[in-house]
Structure 1
Amino acid sequence: MPRTVGPFVQRGLRPLFRVALCSQLCWPMLAFADTAYDQMVIDARAGHYTPALTALRQVPAGQASAAQISDHLQIASWAGLDAEVVQVYETQGRYRDLPVQALSATARAYRNLKRWDAATELYRQALAIDPRNPDLQLGLVLTQADAGKPDEAVSRAKALVAAKPDDPMRRLALGYALTRANSPHEALFEYDQAFTRAGNKPEVAREYVIALQRAQLPEPALRLARLQPGLIDPGMRRRLEGDVAAERVRLTDMASRSETERFIIADRALADYDKLLTTWSPVAEAHDDVLRWRIDRLGALNARARRAEVIAEYQKLIAEGVSIPTYALRWVASSYLEQREPEIAVDLYRRVLTAPDADPADRFEDSTALYYALLESEKSEEARVLAEDLAKAQPPRVELKGLPIGNPNDEWMDAQQLAAQAGTYGADLPSAEARLDTLVNQGPGNIGLRLAQADLYQARDWPRRSESLLKEVEATTPRDRGLEVAQARAAMDLQEWRQMDALVDDVVARYPENAHVKRLQRQREVHDMAELRIEAYTGKSYGGGSGDAGAVTGSRDFGIETLLYSPPINEDWRLFGGAGYATGDFEEGTGHHRWQRLGVERRTRDMTLEAEVSNHSYGSGDKQGARLAVARDINDHWQYGGSLDYLSAETPLRALNSGIRANGGSGFVRWRANESREWRLAVSPSHFSDGNNRLEAVVTGREGIYSAPRLQVELGLEVATSRNSGSNEVPYFNPKSDFTVMPTVNANHVLYRRYETTWSQQFQVGAGTYSQRDHSTGAMGLLGYGQRFIWNDVLEAGAALSWLNRPYDGDRESDLRLLVDLTYRF
């Protein structure tokens, strides 16, 4: 919660009390003054103290009468000369028989000088003479309150109020005692009662204003002060105006009645601060207040999502040597986190948590904020440890007096959710799933838990399961911001483009400043961009039956293809076109293949369809080709698809170089359990123009065996077989039948990651066997290394170098290959 500078410092005896307690000290009025001394006393009553005091000071101490000492004590008290009152009493009057008025004046002087015990003793001495004197009773109440005995003061004041409840002075005294007893709201009641009975008196109204301000009700206090000009001094009014603005900053953290009103209070607070700073910045005496306003204004800027201004003003204050209080550091840390500077936010949140004046009530919220700052700083292990510690530190129930089993602790549930989500962000998705399932069973109506569960399902590549869960949540809170953001992401995964647009438009219109909404809007913008894809390869083969000419790819082979997709048309459609070139040296000579492609792609829920026509140049003349491909999802786990190709792009370049073309197709079925387990079967028949019919089948699979935030390791397996009906005496590799088994270990290591920018490296090691009809089974070995760079959602580029050693037609061959790809959206 935002905080402000505390209420006004508790004062000593206020002017109203002074007037009240002097009421019994005035001598009886004389109708006539017969002497000069009497005239000086009369003048002193009128406020001219100097003549009487001068005369009394000239009386030798040993010759002063009790009456003269009494006069001296009272007149010096009227003049506010507390030290002189005490000095006269201690040197001349302590052992004299003084009247009540003199004792009361001296007691008041002792109190003003904060000599509480001496003041209490004199008040009690005076009360022994006049026990029913209400002013003496009030004076004793005030003294006890100031002397650190508020309970005694409250008890005495309550007795006075009970005896005469309509006396505003007694109500004020009780309010003062209650204030000293740290009961500001009970005190406010007494001040309110005094104001109700004597609100026309400026002294009473002033005390009421101060009580309102002390009870953290600055707005009604300021309103009352404005109704009675001159009631409070300009400095006090200035501070009240600052307190009103600070109160509005506190209110910005509370839920508004509607979305459209959530910034109204923050805007009012900012308007207040702008006016105050403009008015008072040039005034030297307002320097401390101006600094306080500048600090508190950070909260209004933060609530208004003006994060850059928060940081700029914070840096100015730091440069000026201003010490920023803990409550304001929380706003600054939040702004740095929103501005994607999480490392600074981490340091600030740690300062907040370890500050001596840190509020224990804010510890959980601040720790949660630190968790996200650590997460965005790519310190996911530290974040997970923090989340686990929070989960262990929170008790499941809050013990309350009178309730044997207590009440459920909301912070316990929030901490458990945070720890479960830490598994999601820490690449431990199975553990996170189990923990969230348990929590949802304990709190099925908790919207935050259900949304976290839906996010986990998306991370596990289960968008339909996520969508179904979000539909259940929608029945409870149909326009919750977090719900709509999650639904939009699920719609994007499911290629529900219109639904995605509707959801994104809605949350952007309602919460344009929210970081999650901004991220969603960015993803939609990227989806709506054109897309350029470039793929290139080159390689060199060693060994084999043809020397340096590889049996399949030739030697010094090179290929490149560029493909350009249009932005989405009517949501579902994209046009694409591209061109490519491939060349390689073979035993028969150098082969060249140039092609151009033009097609259309349609992406809808559960289906992606592509159709294209192409032109191919190889050998002599141009040939036209065509292709139709479809992929269809059954559910989150199963997918099937296929393609038909006329003049297939998979035709070996060596065959094309000899004028042999191929038509064919393929079909596949894929099963995916989750993000780390997948198997795929593909069958591809083809017919070559030389009469050869080929049938290929490939089973590929992967299984994750280790996962950490920066490292993932998978086992891979490829099992392939093929059969050809034609002779193997053709100018391209054409075994009668073969069988390949290649297990691999694949590792992906993140070198650098910051938000949408990632730089990673990949390792691949494989060892298997290759069996070919009419030839013996031989070993295969594979080594690979690559790097990949992703930047700002629009650029992805990678390069991979691999070495493969395997036999072809009984001859061992090594192939060194470099693959480069780039995708750019604009």
Structure 2
Amino acid sequence: MPRTVGPFVQRGLRPLFRVALCSQLCWPMLAFADTAYDQMVLDARAGHYTPALTALRQVPAAQASTAQISDHLQIASWAGLDAEVVAVYEAQGRNRALPVQALTATARAYRNLKRWDSAAELYRQALVIDPQNPDLQLGLALTQADAGQPDEAVTRAKAMVAAKPADPMRRLALGYALTRANDPHEALFEYDQAFSRAGSSPEVAREYIYALQRARLPEPALRLARLQPGLIERGVQRRLEGDVAAERVRLADMASRSEQERFVIADRALADYDKLLATWTPVAEAHDDVLRWRIDRMGALNARARRAEVIAEYQKLIAEGVSIPTYALRWVASSYLEQREPEIAVDLYRRVLSAPDADPAERFEDSTALYYALLESEKSEEARALAEEMAKAQRPRIELKGLPIGNPNDEWMDAQQLAAQAGTYGADLPSAEARLETLVNQGPGNTGMRLAQADLYQARDWPRRSENLLKEVEATIPRNRDLEIAQARAAMDLQEWRQMDALTDDVVARYPENAHVKRLQRQREVHDMAELRIEAYTGKSYGGGNGDAGAVTGSRDFGIETLLYSPPIDEDWRLFGGAGYATGDFEEGTGHHRWQRLGVERRTRDMTLEAEVSNHSYGSGDKQGARVAVARDIDDHWQYGGSLDYLSANTPLRALNSGVRANGGSGFVRWRANESREWRLAVSPSHFSDGNNRLETLLTGHEGIYSAPRLQVELGLEVGASRNSGSNEVPYFNPKADFSVMPTVSANHVLYRRYETTWSQQFQVGAGTYSQRDYNTAAMGLLSYGQRFIWNDVLEAGAALSWLNRPYDGDRESDVRLLVDLTYRF
């Protein structure tokens, strides 16, 4: 924030200096022996200049003596008539042998008129006459300081101080020269020395206050000013009060001694500004200061996490035509980013970086903020390019004189981390993993780098690996906010609900205003909600041996199931219940199936368990069923599980329509390398009530082949085989044995994404073969297109239209199917 320059610098010599430089003006006997003239001189010394000046002005220039000219110069100087002093000197005194007093008065007049060279020349002339005169040395030093020769002024003033260290005037002169040399802290030392020797002098105290202000120490300056009311001008004290509040704004952004004190300084600054604005807004002369306070107050609001108020004040100032300085634009941009308006933040950060008065020391921090604003604006390619540019611009070490290898550059490490993390957000997780691993090896004690690595492990679906790394970091920074947020998210992935609650409660209590904490709290709230799932399908088959009646699904088939989960009970448990209906037209008639389900789910670390009972209505009467299923994780890569079904829900509707039911089960093992590679093998035996035993095996897998922020493409493979012991002369599709291979290419394209809202489309194409015992091997083809919408963490809905062409018992059949699903949490 800009600082107010003390009037001492703006206006030249203060009165104390003027008195000191006049100390040699001890008037000699005047040339006139006229008693009346003597009295006029005495009156002039007492402050009544007009009579003497009137008399001297009436003396013809040609008749004026050296003494009269000297008197005229000195009395006019006393009267503050600098222009008259210079005019008299240049017209009458330039070629006279004037005394030191007259030369000094003229030099002072030249100096006040900012004619530095002429003033310095006269001071030097006077020093030839009286080389040991300290007041002449003082005047020359001050003139050199004003004339843009601060080094010479400092050298001269230091010599004067060395000769007489206890003289406060010499200390003040050296302080003035150092101020002109742009060394306010060294200057403050000299002013402090003068104050310690002559602090009772109002002029010395006043200059000390100005020196404190220039050294950016407004609080002690204001405290001293308040001890002596009236010592400084009202406007200067007003600006000092604003400087104190501005200093607190800067301090509010720094790390505090404890979490409880994070907002104490910001609250004090806001209280200062509220008082200042209430007092001075109605005063016209304070208009510029009031505008500055309003601008600086936005910094206190930003530090206090009152982002909406920052934006509101910014918009008011813009509407009033106020130009917002660069330092304040940072606060506004930060507030817009926190308020989830990243596009505006991007524009503001770019203005900050391109501003003529941009601070080079702030460039890295501003560029980092722009990077995150670009990410949240869904401009991940631009963000990644910026991160790479920052990484290249920084040097690993800072070269320092006397250190041959320099010091490590923290900004280089931060830039490398940013570039590595850009790969995570840019859907290039393998590259990000390799870069982060290299950086962690280079700086194993860098906790920020290890937290970034843990976040990457979570993005790659390795929650246990992330958890282990976070435990190592915990030994160094046990209650770090970012650490606990990452641990809470890992706990959520691992179904460690109590641990998630403890960590979330802790960071919410300590940092309720933080955006990442708010996000974590929202995820916990969604987890604690009830959940509604709805799935529906409809389709139509063409061709086949039964005309328009599909061999498996029938024709004009339709089905829907609704399932409702309760909120978590005692963290691990959820009750669920639901109902469903399915129908289809087959050659032997229309089939109907109605069912109701009631069950319980338990989710704990490494295991998910479900048990349910069900009621089924098909054919005649009601039948009861049951199911139990378990899935257990071995580690981040392996999972196994299985289920047992009494009156299996997988029984074909065509079999149920003919009164045939089935019991069965399933077992599976899954291997998941990372987010883009997975394989799953499932084996499902079942026993039909007509005596048929079926064994099905299915191998599925996918491999990512292309990944970008908005597009992911993967290869898939589905290999299936089945065997039935019964005759194929049954009223449902029952091949003795079959084998199918279906490679696919799938693509997911994000159409729109903003924070928790995503709209995407999915494409899939597949071509394979199907082999059935007693029939020839034939081709299969698949086309599918769908869209999916996710909103605010609580709503997810999707629809997909597919076309499948394949043979059944040697007859080719096409099936067009629409699938719709919806999940809603409340």
**TM-score under structure 2 normalisation?**
0.98
Worse-superposed segment, 535-544 or 76-85? 76-85
1:695 aligns with 2:702: no
Q: Once the 2 structures are TM-superposed, how far is the Cα of residue 57 of structure 1 from its aligned partner? A: 2.1
**Conserved? CA contact 1:586–1:654, under 8 Å:** yes
User: Aligned in 2, Cα 1:33/1:697: closer, same or farther, shift over 3 Å?
Assistant: farther
**Conserved? CA contact 1:540–1:557, under 8 Å:** yes
**Conserved? CA contact 1:615–1:625, under 8 Å:** yes
SS at match of 1:465: helix
Distance 1:734 1:428 in 2: 46
**Conserved? CA contact 2:5–2:213, under 8 Å:** no
**Conserved? CA contact 1:104–1:136, under 8 Å:** yes
1:750 aligns with 2:746: no
Distance 1:746 1:472 in 2: 39
User: Aligned in 2, Cα 1:791/1:7: closer, same or farther, shift over 3 Å?
Assistant: farther
User: Aligned in 2, Cα 1:201/1:3: closer, same or farther, shift over 3 Å?
Assistant: closer
User: Aligned in 2, Cα 1:7/1:437: closer, same or farther, shift over 3 Å?
Assistant: farther
Distance 2:2 2:82 in 1: 41
Q: Deviations over 1:418-472 (max 9, x none)?
A: 1100111100000000011100000000001100000000000000000000000
Distance 1:715 1:8 in 2: 77
SS at match of 2:395: coil
Distance 2:88 2:652 in 1: 119
Distance 1:28 1:6 in 2: 38
Matched residues, percent identical?
Answer: 92
User: Aligned in 2, Cα 1:191/1:403: closer, same or farther, shift over 3 Å?
Assistant: same
Worse-superposed segment, 17-26 or 285-294? 17-26
**Conserved? CA contact 1:7–1:213, under 8 Å:** no
User: Aligned in 2, Cα 1:306/1:287: closer, same or farther, shift over 3 Å?
Assistant: same
Q: Once the 2 structures are TM-superposed, how far is the Cα of residue 291 of structure 1 from its aligned partner? A: 1.1
**Conserved? CA contact 2:4–2:214, under 8 Å:** no
**Conserved? CA contact 2:536–2:819, under 8 Å:** yes
Distance 2:535 2:390 in 1: 48
Worse-superposed segment, 800-809 or 63-72? 63-72
**Conserved? CA contact 1:333–1:349, under 8 Å:** yes
SS at match of 2:236: helix
Distance 1:623 1:5 in 2: 92
**Conserved? CA contact 2:533–2:564, under 8 Å:** yes
Distance 2:26 2:237 in 1: 34
Q: Deviations over 1:642-685 (max 9, x none)?
A: 11111111111111111111111111000000000000000111
Distance 1:180 1:444 in 2: 48
**Conserved? CA contact 2:609–2:629, under 8 Å:** yes
**Conserved? CA contact 1:795–1:823, under 8 Å:** yes
**Conserved? CA contact 2:298–2:310, under 8 Å:** yes
Distance 1:9 1:743 in 2: 82
Distance 2:522 2:4 in 1: 38
SS at match of 1:324: coil
Q: Once the 2 structures are TM-superposed, how far is the Cα of residue 30 of structure 1 from its aligned partner? A: 11
Q: Deviations over 1:591-620 (max 9, x none)?
A: 111111111111000000111111111111
**Conserved? CA contact 1:199–1:205, under 8 Å:** yes
Q: Once the 2 structures are TM-superposed, how far is the Cα of residue 2 of structure 1 from its aligned partner? A: 9.0
Q: Deviations over 1:663-715 (max 9, x none)?
A: 11111000000000000000111111111111111000000000000000000
SS at match of 1:610: strand
Distance 1:474 1:405 in 2: 32
In the other structure, the counterpart of 1:76 is 76
Q: Deviations over 1:712-764 (max 9, x none)?
A: 00000000011111111111111111111000000000000011000000000
Distance 2:114 2:396 in 1: 50
**Conserved? CA contact 1:26–1:45, under 8 Å:** no
In the other structure, the counterpart of 1:232 is 232
User: Aligned in 2, Cα 1:214/1:625: closer, same or farther, shift over 3 Å?
Assistant: same
Q: Once the 2 structures are TM-superposed, how far is the Cα of residue 28 of structure 1 from its aligned partner? A: 5.7
Q: Deviations over 1:504-542 (max 9, x none)?
A: 000010111111111000000000011111100000000
SS at match of 2:10: coil
In the other structure, the counterpart of 2:432 is 432
Q: Once the 2 structures are TM-superposed, how far is the Cα of residue 4 of structure 1 from its aligned partner? A: 8.2
Q: Once the 2 structures are TM-superposed, how far is the Cα of residue 61 of structure 1 from its aligned partner? A: 2.2
SS at match of 2:398: strand
Q: Deviations over 1:575-600 (max 9, x none)?
A: 11111111111111111111111111
**Conserved? CA contact 1:7–1:214, under 8 Å:** no
Q: Deviations over 1:198-218 (max 9, x none)?
A: 000000000000001101111
User: Aligned in 2, Cα 1:539/1:248: closer, same or farther, shift over 3 Å?
Assistant: same
**Conserved? CA contact 1:630–1:642, under 8 Å:** yes
User: Aligned in 2, Cα 1:256/1:6: closer, same or farther, shift over 3 Å?
Assistant: farther
User: Aligned in 2, Cα 1:6/1:107: closer, same or farther, shift over 3 Å?
Assistant: closer
Distance 1:499 1:123 in 2: 81
Distance 2:28 2:188 in 1: 37
**TM-score under structure 1 normalisation?**
0.98
Q: Once the 2 structures are TM-superposed, how far is the Cα of residue 299 of structure 1 from its aligned partner? A: 1.1
User: Aligned in 2, Cα 1:9/1:623: closer, same or farther, shift over 3 Å?
Assistant: farther
Q: Deviations over 1:379-403 (max 9, x none)?
A: 1111111111111111111000000
Worse-superposed segment, 401-410 or 65-74? 65-74
**Conserved? CA contact 2:613–2:627, under 8 Å:** yes
User: Aligned in 2, Cα 1:106/1:7: closer, same or farther, shift over 3 Å?
Assistant: closer
Distance 2:607 2:3 in 1: 56
Worse-superposed segment, 303-312 or 451-460? 303-312
Q: Once the 2 structures are TM-superposed, how far is the Cα of residue 357 of structure 1 from its aligned partner? A: 1.0
Q: Once the 2 structures are TM-superposed, how far is the Cα of residue 10 of structure 1 from its aligned partner? A: 3.4
Distance 2:445 2:735 in 1: 63
Distance 2:261 2:301 in 1: 16
Q: Once the 2 structures are TM-superposed, how far is the Cα of residue 376 of structure 1 from its aligned partner? A: 0.7
**Conserved? CA contact 1:799–1:818, under 8 Å:** yes
Distance 1:522 1:308 in 2: 20
Worse-superposed segment, 323-332 or 455-464? 323-332
**Conserved? CA contact 2:661–2:688, under 8 Å:** yes
**Conserved? CA contact 1:591–1:653, under 8 Å:** yes
Q: Once the 2 structures are TM-superposed, how far is the Cα of residue 50 of structure 1 from its aligned partner? A: 2.0
Q: Once the 2 structures are TM-superposed, how far is the Cα of residue 32 of structure 1 from its aligned partner? A: 14
**Conserved? CA contact 1:3–1:246, under 8 Å:** no
Distance 2:9 2:531 in 1: 66
Q: Once the 2 structures are TM-superposed, how far is the Cα of residue 52 of structure 1 from its aligned partner? A: 2.0
SS at match of 1:179: helix
**Conserved? CA contact 1:2–1:327, under 8 Å:** no
Structure 1: segments with no counterpart, 5+ residues: none
**Conserved? CA contact 2:8–2:207, under 8 Å:** no
**Conserved? CA contact 1:4–1:296, under 8 Å:** no
Distance 1:540 1:617 in 2: 24
SS at match of 2:8: coil
Distance 1:633 1:335 in 2: 43
Q: Once the 2 structures are TM-superposed, how far is the Cα of residue 58 of structure 1 from its aligned partner? A: 2.4
**Conserved? CA contact 2:6–2:213, under 8 Å:** no
User: Aligned in 2, Cα 1:662/1:713: closer, same or farther, shift over 3 Å?
Assistant: same
Q: Once the 2 structures are TM-superposed, how far is the Cα of residue 34 of structure 1 from its aligned partner? A: 6.6
**Conserved? CA contact 1:585–1:591, under 8 Å:** yes
Distance 2:304 2:12 in 1: 41
Structure 2: segments with no counterpart, 5+ residues: none
Q: Once the 2 structures are TM-superposed, how far is the Cα of residue 6 of structure 1 from its aligned partner? A: 9.3
User: Aligned in 2, Cα 1:823/1:655: closer, same or farther, shift over 3 Å?
Assistant: same
SS at match of 2:62: helix
**Conserved? CA contact 2:669–2:680, under 8 Å:** yes
Q: Once the 2 structures are TM-superposed, how far is the Cα of residue 788 of structure 1 from its aligned partner? A: 0.3
**Conserved? CA contact 1:4–1:246, under 8 Å:** no
User: Aligned in 2, Cα 1:626/1:155: closer, same or farther, shift over 3 Å?
Assistant: same
Q: How well do the aligned residues superpose, as a CA RMSD in angstroms?
A: 1.6
Q: Once the 2 structures are TM-superposed, how far is the Cα of residue 355 of structure 1 from its aligned partner? A: 1.0
Distance 2:221 2:45 in 1: 35
**Conserved? CA contact 2:465–2:636, under 8 Å:** yes
**Conserved? CA contact 2:538–2:558, under 8 Å:** yes
Distance 1:719 1:51 in 2: 119
**Conserved? CA contact 2:775–2:810, under 8 Å:** yes
Distance 2:11 2:357 in 1: 25
Q: Deviations over 1:757-802 (max 9, x none)?
A: 0000000000001111111111000000000000010000000000
User: Aligned in 2, Cα 1:8/1:782: closer, same or farther, shift over 3 Å?
Assistant: farther
Q: Once the 2 structures are TM-superposed, how far is the Cα of residue 62 of structure 1 from its aligned partner? A: 2.2
Q: Once the 2 structures are TM-superposed, how far is the Cα of residue 154 of structure 1 from its aligned partner? A: 0.8
Distance 1:766 1:391 in 2: 43
User: Aligned in 2, Cα 1:4/1:97: closer, same or farther, shift over 3 Å?
Assistant: closer
In the other structure, the counterpart of 1:203 is 203
